[in-house]
Structure 1
Amino acid sequence: MTTFDILFFHFFQYYKNKKSKKANSIATFYITVLQCSLLLLLGVFFAKFFRQMHMDTMSASKAWTLFVLIVIFIYFKNWMQYGGRKRKVLNAKMIKNRKLTYNIWLLWFLPVVILGLTFVLFQAV
């Protein structure tokens, strides 16, 4: 199991008790936002790195178009992956670890911190 699988399961378990019908959607949305924010951080880092190295790889509009297409792909990948069978397999594997070990507010704050770091890196020269 990957880190994203564990985080998905923790979100799913937390919201299953509170909002049973929306738990899968909330957990899928969170994992998608987390993965996309990490992708954006890496993209900004490499864009700044290539600019410092005086390499012209692609224009900014093409990079943003590629980012949007990858975000759509990531959302549908997560939707398919965590839709049914994978979630049941995760539930079977994590049945012993029912206790949540992560604070849910810290997990919601993680993508915000990553986006803040991305903004700071984007503003850097």
Structure 2
Amino acid sequence: MRRHGAALKRFTADAWDQVTTSNDCEQLMKRVATGRKNWLFKGSLSAGERAANLMTIIGTAIRSDLGVHAYLDDVMRRTLAGETNWSVLSPPAGRDSNPESIRDYRHDERRQAADRKRVRHARRRRLNK
């Protein structure tokens, strides 16, 4: 408390001044922490590998700003139809083949978060001078 008293006062004085976090990383780790107990009961090693592969695909689709349901539906239909060119099924290729499943609002959210962060840092620099 003694070392961080000034920062605590600044945080409690300004409601817009938020605690800095690495939200993307925290969200990725949340999946790991949530699934850790569930993975104990997958049934077999191969079931665990399949679940890990599916979670990797879902995580990549989320990071690529694709609608997960639409992307998985497209990938499953194409693999069941016999598609074996995996580079065509990757999320960047999925963005090209399914432009309607791109979640454009994520770009706006990231831009707004970056703007808020820039304002917070500028405010902190002013207060520390």
TM-score scaled to structure 2, two decimals? Answer: 0.31
Rg comparison, structure with higher value: 2
TM-score scaled to structure 1, two decimals? Answer: 0.32
